[in-house]
A and B are shown apart, each in its own frame.
Chain A
């Protein structure tokens, strides 16, 4: 039993070590060309376009439900005029980054792992290396850069759509006018909210794609291995989203942001 626990711990430690060693290798490549700008661009296009419809859907209903719940709770205190502001701040600071990153992990992260995993088990990664090209540069770095840039864009779009969804409720159910809702939103959001709302997806985008590439390239055991790697990517990046969210929130709070 003791031995079993020891094995588990040393396994987890060496896995963690490999995870960071992998990212160190990738990071080193950030400072020296070639950069495959065209591939980064293609990836941004693909990642963005792929996720846009689901991001819009999730964001819209989140804003919609949020405004509903807050609206009816606030009505009891006669404070429904604050709905716009509360919806906006909670979306921008917290719900937008976290929910859209979760969607991103399930959509883009899983996709990256499946793609790289399939390439790994069919020896295409080996073939790239044999042809004197570097998969860490050509596949990994390009995807991490593209995801890190695209997730904040998606989150901004999602925030806007969510706020719009909230407005719909405000106008239809709570008896607010659109312009009132709008000014409530604008008056409540401060720079710190926007900063916090953008730094999170930046970090999550890098983390999700990093996790996805790591599990993709470490896929073993054929098609079944690809499935397992995808599951691992989604689980690990979802947990890390919540973990990092707490860490960043606390950190920003300490910095007074």
Chain B
């Protein structure tokens, strides 16, 4: 279980998160909704401690990681997989080396075993046989899926997906949603999914969290979200013009 308690974060005086509290229960998938620039990616990075919060506490399986140094975070991060918004593949490595990265660093697997694990992860994202391609040779959707394969190579118990389906065609999006579901049901992975795409959100979410102006506006199940009277939420669901709440 991961708990965020009253997380604050600002950049150069601009407040991005103003006291976000959130719990991710074991085996659960939460979807985070919010406008572009509201701090969703920042929140995921704070959980992994790629960024430090200004204030607030993070508990990961009851360990308080708030004051952890970089070395102390390493074992914690091994149990987490992060799909970055921009994929963030290592562009000097080919696909196979990207997926094998964590295995080479953190396991003593033989080359054969690494190769079969890489093949297995790539098959999971339906990119079998692409080991030799370089990231620059991949389409945006393929990059996302390779990044997903890389993130899951160490069989993490927590997965964080930063806009896994943005910019993908509906069929590939559905595949990714099924993947997220599959990791949850087959491997009992707990996940946080950040997305703008409401249709995809409904396919994977056990629970929704809506962020607005650096605070949590609403959390609830799919039906609670659909039934919400808040204009911001309704606009978001309808996919129409998203209200900025100023009118």
Residues of A within 8 A of B (CB): 119, 122-124, 126-134, 136
CA distance A4 to B115 in the complex (A): 58
Given contacts A130-B77, A132-B74, A133-B105, contact A123 B86 (CB under 8 A): yes
Supply 15 A–B pairs (Cβ within 8 Å), ascending by A.
Answer: A123-B84, A126-B45, A126-B88, A129-B77, A130-B77, A131-B101, A131-B102, A132-B73, A132-B77, A132-B105, A132-B106, A133-B74, A133-B105, A134-B70, A134-B71
By the criterion CB–CB under 8 Å, are A129 and B50 in contact?
Answer: yes
CA distance A129 to B52 in the complex (A): 13
How far does the Cβ of B69 sit from chain A's closest Cβ, in whole Å?
Answer: 10
Whether a CB of chain A sits under 8 angstroms from the CB of B7 is no
Ranked 7 nearest A-B pairs via Cβ: A123-B88, A127-B88, A132-B77, A130-B82, A132-B78, A132-B74, A131-B102
Nearest residue (CB) in B for A115 is: B92
B86 CB contacts on chain A under 8 angstroms: 122-123
Whether a CB of chain A sits under 8 angstroms from the CB of B91 is yes
> Could you mark each residue 46-79 of chain B with 1 if its beta carbon is under 8 Å from any beta carbon of chain A, else 0?
0010100000000000000000001101110110
B73 CB contacts on chain A under 8 angstroms: 132
B70 CB contacts on chain A under 8 angstroms: 129, 134, 136
A130 CB contacts on chain B under 8 angstroms: 48, 50, 77, 80, 82, 84, 151
CA distance A131 to B90 in the complex (A): 12
A129 CB contacts on chain B under 8 angstroms: 48, 50, 70, 77
CA distance A131 to B153 in the complex (A): 10
CA distance A130 to B71 in the complex (A): 12
Nearest residue (CB) in A for B150 is: A131
B75 CB contacts on chain A under 8 angstroms: 132
A134 CB contacts on chain B under 8 angstroms: 70-71, 74
CA distance A123 to B48 in the complex (A): 14
Majority secondary structure of chain B interface residues (helix, strand, loop or mixed):
helix
A131 CB contacts on chain B under 8 angstroms: 77, 101-102, 105, 150
Given contacts A132-B105, A132-B106, A133-B105, contact A127 B74 (CB under 8 A): no
CA distance A133 to B77 in the complex (A): 9
How far does the Cβ of B161 sit from chain A's closest Cβ, in whole Å?
Answer: 13
How far does the Cβ of B162 sit from chain A's closest Cβ, in whole Å?
Answer: 10
CA distance A124 to B82 in the complex (A): 12
How far does the Cβ of B154 sit from chain A's closest Cβ, in whole Å?
Answer: 8
CA distance A71 to B84 in the complex (A): 63
By the criterion CB–CB under 8 Å, are A124 and B88 in contact?
Answer: yes
A119 CB contacts on chain B under 8 angstroms: 90
Within 8 A of A (CB), among B77-115: 77-78, 80, 82, 84-86, 88-91, 101-102, 105-106
Nearest residue (CB) in A for B153 is: A131
CA distance A136 to B69 in the complex (A): 13
How far does the Cβ of B210 sit from chain A's closest Cβ, in whole Å?
Answer: 25
Nearest residue (CB) in A for B51 is: A126
A136 CB contacts on chain B under 8 angstroms: 70
CA distance A131 to B89 in the complex (A): 12
Nearest residue (CB) in A for B74 is: A132
Nearest residue (CB) in B for A118 is: B91
Identify A124's interface contact among B45, B85, B90, B151, CB under 8 A.
B90
How far does the Cβ of B188 sit from chain A's closest Cβ, in whole Å?
Answer: 20
CA distance A119 to B89 in the complex (A): 10
Nearest residue (CB) in A for B105 is: A133
> Could you mark each residue 24-51 of chain B with 1 if its beta carbon is under 8 Å from any beta carbon of chain A, else 0?
0000000000000000000001001010
Nearest residue (CB) in B for A131 is: B102
How far does the Cβ of A129 sit from chain B's closest Cβ, in whole Å?
Answer: 6
Nearest residue (CB) in A for B70 is: A134
CA distance A82 to B54 in the complex (A): 67
By the criterion CB–CB under 8 Å, are B88 and A132 in contact?
Answer: no
By the criterion CB–CB under 8 Å, are B102 and A132 in contact?
Answer: yes
CA distance A133 to B101 in the complex (A): 10
CA distance A128 to B89 in the complex (A): 10
Nearest residue (CB) in A for B75 is: A132
CA distance A194 to B247 in the complex (A): 76
Given contacts A127-B84, A130-B48, A130-B82, contact A122 B101 (CB under 8 A): no
By the criterion CB–CB under 8 Å, are B77 and A124 in contact?
Answer: no
By the criterion CB–CB under 8 Å, are B84 and A126 in contact?
Answer: yes
By the criterion CB–CB under 8 Å, are A126 and B50 in contact?
Answer: yes
B74 CB contacts on chain A under 8 angstroms: 132-134
A126 CB contacts on chain B under 8 angstroms: 45, 50, 84, 88
B77 CB contacts on chain A under 8 angstroms: 129-132
